[in-house]
């Protein structure tokens, strides 16, 4: 590994430790990492917008003689008038145009993809006797799964239907609806936990790779020094915090 790569990796490891230090409590290391991420992201995004959008899609087009690209560019500039109290009304024109186009584009497509298609799949062929058991117990395309989805959808929707009092038989449906909703939330929560642990796992993998490189036989001795300094900073901070905690415990006792 080259010096340049190692230093960048070390910076990544240092920022990882800075971020994790927040799990104990808010501290200057975390604040530094937080501000750095926000600043770097904003700066990077500004450059990306300039090089990937303004140059090829606006400037190059206009200089190539496609002068009508001035119109969207002007509409974009009009948005900036929001910063002036006197002229902020000008920004309403491009916003209105944008909203109109976006709504016209989105409403029919969203309706089709997220309502009609979903209703279709939930209602059509709900009793699929040809594939009643599917390929496995958890086969989401099996006949039983389709039936469960249909009954579950109706019950969950009924829970939010307040024109009929939830009593007797209807109370049962609405209770079943709650269970279906809870199972749905549980599945989402489970996946979320998996997602969060995955992030932590990836950072452990990166720290492992960094440690292996720093202590490799063929690596420069300075790599190990950087490794020790990075962990040393947090070790000193941890000792300092533990002492502070013990002192406060003693004083309350």
Partner 1 sequence: MNIFDRIMSFDRRWIFLSLAIVCVVTFMWPFHVPITLSNEVRSIYNRFDSLKEGDMIYLSVDYDPNALAELHPTTYVLAEMCFRKNVKVIFGTLSNLGQGMVDQVIDDITDSVMLDKTYNGVFYEGREIQNGIDYVFLGYKPYPAMVIQAMGLDFRVPFPTDYYGTPLDSIPIMKGVKNFDQCKLVMDMAAGNVAEMWITYGHGNYNVPLALAVTGVMGADMYPYLNSGQIFGLAAGLLGSAQIEKLCDNPGRAIDGMRIQLFAHILIILFIIMGNIGFFVTRRRKKMGGDVR
Could you count the other beta carbons within 10 Å of the beta carbon of residue 17? 19
Nearer to partner 1, 17 or 173 (CB): 17
Single out the residue of 22, 46, 43 nearest to residue 32, CA to CA: 22
**By the rule CB under 8 A, 70 interacts with partner 1:** no
- Residues within window 26-65 making contact with partner 1, judged by CB under 8 A: 41, 44-45, 48-49, 52-53, 56-57, 60-61
Q: Which is nearer to partner 1, 88 or 118 (CB)?
A: 118
Specify the stretch interacting with partner 1 by CB under 8 A; choose among 88-96, 200-208, 218-226, 227-235: 200-208
- 76 three-class SS: helix
Is 247 a binding residue for partner 1 by CB under 8 A? The answer is no
With contacts defined by CB under 8 A, how many residues of the chain interact with partner 1? 51
Which parts of 41-157 are beta strand (E)?
none
Residue 141-180 contact track with partner 1, rule CB under 8 A, x = bound: x----x--x-------------------------------
User: Which span (72-80, 131-139, 163-171, 218-226) binds partner 1, by CB under 8 A?
Assistant: 131-139
Q: Roughly how many angstroms between the first and final C-alpha of the chain, as a whole number? A: 53
Coil, strand, or helix at residue 228? helix
User: What is the nearest approach in angstroms of partner 1 to the Cβ of residue 247?
Assistant: 18
Instruction: Report the C-alpha gap between 34 and 21 in whole angstroms.
Output: 12
Which is closer to partner 1, CB of 178 or CB of 222?
Answer: 178
- Residue of 136, 29, 178 lying closest to 144 (CA atoms): 136
Burial of 92 (0-12, 13-18, 19+ CB in 10 A): middle
Q: Per rule CB under 8 A, is residue 201 in the interface with partner 1?
A: yes
What are the percentages of helix, strand and coil residues in the chain, rounded to 5? 80, 0, 20
Binding site for partner 1 (CB under 8 A): 23-24, 41, 44-45, 48-49, 52-53, 56-57, 60-61, 102, 105-106, 109-110, 112-114, 117-118, 120-121, 135-136, 138-141, 146, 149, 184, 187-188, 191-195, 197-205, 208
């Amino acid at each position: 590994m080259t010096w340049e790569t190692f230093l960048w990796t070390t910076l990544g490891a240092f920022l990882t430790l800075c971020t994790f230090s927040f799990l104990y409590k808010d501290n200057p290391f975390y604040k530094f990492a937080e501000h750095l991420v926000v600043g770097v992201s904003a700066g990077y995004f500004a450059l990306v917008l300039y090089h990937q959008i303004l140059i090829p899609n606006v400037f190059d087009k206009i200089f190539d003689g496609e002068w009508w690209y001035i119109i969207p560019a002007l509409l974009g500039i009009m948005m900036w008038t929001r910063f002036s109290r006197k002229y902020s009304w000008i920004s309403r024109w491009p916003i209105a145009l944008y909203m109109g186009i976006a709504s016209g584009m989105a409403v029919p497509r969203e309706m089709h993809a997220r309502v009609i298609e979903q209703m279709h799949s939930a209602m059509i062929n709900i009793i699929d006797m040809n594939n009643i058991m599917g390929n496995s117990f958890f086969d989401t395309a099996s006949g039983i799964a389709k039936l469960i989805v249909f009954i579950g959808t109706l019950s969950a929707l009924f829970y939010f239907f307040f024109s009929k009092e939830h009593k007797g038989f209807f109370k049962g449906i609405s209770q079943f609806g709650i269970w279906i909703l809870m199972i749905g939330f549980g599945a989402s929560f489970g996946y979320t936990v998996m997602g969060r642990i995955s992030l932590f796992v990836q950072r452990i993998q990166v720290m492992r790779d960094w440690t292996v490189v720093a202590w490799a036989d063929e690596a420069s001795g300075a790599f190990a020094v950087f490794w020790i300094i990075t962990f040393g900073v947090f070790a000193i901070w941890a000792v300092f915090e533990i002492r502070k905690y013990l002192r406060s415990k003693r004083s309350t006792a």
